[in-house]
Structures are given as structure tokens and as C-alpha cells.
Amino acid sequence: MGRVNRGVSAIDLFCGVGGLSHGLQQAGVKVVAGFDIDPRCKYPFETNIDAAFLEQDVRTVTKDQLNRLWEPGSARLLAGCAPCQPFSPYRRGQDTSQEEQWSLLEEFGRLVQETLPDLVTMENVPRIVSSTVFKAFVDTLKDSGYEVSFKSCYGPEYGLPQHRRRLVLIASLHGLIKVPDGEYREDSFMTVRDVIFALPEIASGGADEADPLHKSRSLSEINLHRIRASRPGGTWRDWPEELRAPCHRRASGATFKNVYARMEWDKPAPTITTMAYNFGTGRFGHPEQDRAISLREAAILQGFPPSYRFVKPGSPIEFTPIGRLIGNAVPPAIAAAVGKAILTRLNESETQGAV
């Protein structure tokens, strides 16, 4: 291949609101386009990433389409996070054998084979590593001439204020690029306090006039009593008996200690899910205020800057769709580390005349 002298241009498959793209941009990678089937992703992707958004099923994306989007003369990066619900830890025990989403990683592999980009990166849930579809994807990459590295990455080690693990893969036609280790250690992990303490105080069901996304879901009267009886890092066992739900009184309730619970100020947050705005679905209570975390707080804990825009000004703030967009996003901090590793390796190769 010719010598690379104009940086890296990336196309983001399954781009969502742009978490992966935002991280790559932070590292210095130019993102030229993103594909997603969800029209709600158009505004946040175009507004924050300033790149073309194509509302399209990846199964209909063609080789010619991608080749027209990459910048001529650049190192071409194909990136993406195929929807991973069949492998989610929240779906253990369910039959996912007929999931349509199993084929999306195969489509990613198809596009790699057809376009042979210089670089490929993928992010997903760690459990996918033992699946036949992931092993087939890796085999496709190797058979196409790529050197492949992948590992489970722990979010706090990359500056993410959240206990989240993700599988990250980097494949290269220009020599092995190892998935980087994180630079943070336990005594320097980013915490809930570090990133959301300064946000304006709001009540249950309230919103900040200056930032409509800083809005919390209304709590029922019983849940207001429950959160008032909760301490940071505690469980429902801290409540008086009359506040406990029937499920807590059953033996199986002992396994759900992290629902109806508050976060702790001086630790990373729990994994931010698509329902992180709901006090009853996890440890999503604010450490101090009597409410669940707001959508803005969920986005910040997912690694987005406070200024990241998810909906057009004046649009209604709907918890379910916006929560889904935030919870499904790739944490930008991990993507930024990947982008830096790629650029460092390519710069070394260019200096040595190997690219």
C-alpha cells in the first residue's frame, strides 16, 4: 500500500449518538461518516461529530458506498459496535439463538472483506468473545491478512467514571496494534463526585432550566420514602420493613441488592444501562439528592461531555428513547485510547517507511 501521509479517516458503523466517533475524534482521527438504522441518532451524530449521518441498515451498505466516503490518501478505518443484546449479561438464561442481531457482526465482516480498510476496530460486550459469531469474525479478519488484537477493557482504567467492561478489538494490515492498557489505577479512578457533583440540584421530576437534559424521572410516593431511607452504597436492607417490596421478602430477593439503591460519591458509578434514569432498575439513585440520576448525569457517567447534545432545542425530553441512546453508546474514553494507539503505531510505521 502507498505511504500514509494524511492521517486516518474513519467510518462508524452502528454509530448511535456518536460515542465511538467522539472518542476517535478526541484522539485525532477524522470521522467522515456514521451509519445507523435509528433516525433518532441523526441529530446527535451530525451535531456533535460534524460528519455525515446515513440512516441505513448495514445489510444494505455497499463497498462502493464506503469507498466514496473515505478520504483519498488516508489510512482507512472501519469502526463499529454491532448491537450486542444477545450477549448482554442482563439476558443470561434467555434463548437468543434466533436473534436477528447475530447476523450484524457477519455484515461487519462482509464489509471488511469487500473494502479491505487499513484498520478495523470493534467494541462489544466481553461475553461475545466465547461465541461462534465472534470467532468467525476474527477468522475472517485473519484470513483477509489482518493482525488482530482484542481484550476486555475495564472502564475506570481508561478514565471512565463507571464500572463497565467492554471487549475491544483492533485489526491492522500494517502490523500488530495491541489494544492499549488503561493509564488509570484504582487510587486515581474518576468518581461520581468528579463528574456530576457540580451540576445544579434538581428535585424528583424536576429539570434544570439551562439544560433540559438534566431532568430526573418522577418518583412515586413509596419510592420517595425508599430513597430517603437509602444511604450511598447501601441496599434495600437499610429500609424499614414497611418499605420493602414483596420481591425483597422472598428468598430470591437477596440477589437484587443493587436495585433501589444510591450511588456512592467517591467511587465510579455502576454500569450505565438504557434505564439508568429509573431508581428501581439498578443502583441509579443520586448519592445525595432524593431522586434517580438525570439523563444528563447518565450521559456524563457514560463519558460524554456536559455539552453533548442529544435532542434538538425545544424537543420534548423523553426518558425511554434518550435513555436507550445513552445506555447503548460506546464510552468515548475507551474509543479515545484506541484512536491514540492506532495513530501512534501508524506514525511509527510512517517514520520507518513501513506504511
- Out of 15, 41, 81, 84, which one is annotated catalytic? 84
Report the pLDDT value the prediction gives residue 305, as an integer from 0 to 100.
Answer: 98
Report the pLDDT value the prediction gives residue 84, as an integer from 0 to 100.
Answer: 64
DSSP code per residue over 295-319: HHHHHHHTT--TT---S-TT----H
Report the pLDDT value the prediction gives residue 48, as an integer from 0 to 100.
Answer: 99
Q: Do 192-327 and 8-185+331-348 fall under one CATH topology? A: no
Architecture of domain 8-185+331-348: 3-Layer(aba) Sandwich (3.40)
Pairing of strands 75-80, 8-13: parallel
Given CA atoms 49, 55, 60, 64 in this order, what sign does their dihedral have?
A: negative
Report the pLDDT value the prediction gives residue 157, as an integer from 0 to 100.
Answer: 98
Report the pLDDT value the prediction gives residue 93, as an integer from 0 to 100.
Answer: 43
Which residues does 24 contact at the CB level (< 8 Å), separation at least 6? Answer: 10, 12, 31, 77, 79, 335, 336, 338, 339
Instruction: Provide the CB-side half-sphere exposure for 167 (13 A, CA).
Output: 18
> Is 84 labeled as catalytic in the residue annotation?
yes
Fold of 192-327: DNA Methylase; Chain A, domain 2 (3.90.120)
Report the pLDDT value the prediction gives residue 98, as an integer from 0 to 100.
Answer: 44
Report the pLDDT value the prediction gives residue 235, as an integer from 0 to 100.
Answer: 84
Q: What is the pLDDT along the chain (355 residues), one digit of tens a residue?
A: 334 445 999 999 999 999 999 999 999 999 999 999 999 999 999 999 999 999 999 999 999 999 999 999 999 999 999 986 544 444 444 444 444 455 899 999 999 999 999 999 999 999 999 999 999 999 999 999 999 999 999 999 999 999 999 999 999 999 999 999 999 999 999 999 999 999 999 999 999 999 999 999 999 999 999 999 999 998 888 888 888 877 666 555 455 566 789 999 999 999 999 999 999 999 999 999 999 999 999 999 999 999 999 999 999 999 999 999 999 999 999 999 999 999 999 988 766 665 6
Could you tell me the residue ranges of all domains in the chain? 8-185+331-348, 192-327
Report the pLDDT value the prediction gives residue 236, as an integer from 0 to 100.
Answer: 82
In order of 265, 281, 284, 292, the CA distances from 227 in angstroms are: 16, 13, 10, 9
Q: Are 153 and 168 in contact (CB under 8 A)?
A: yes
Q: What is the largest CA-CA distance in the chain?
A: 72
The Cα 261–Cα 135 span in angstroms is 38
pTM: 0.91
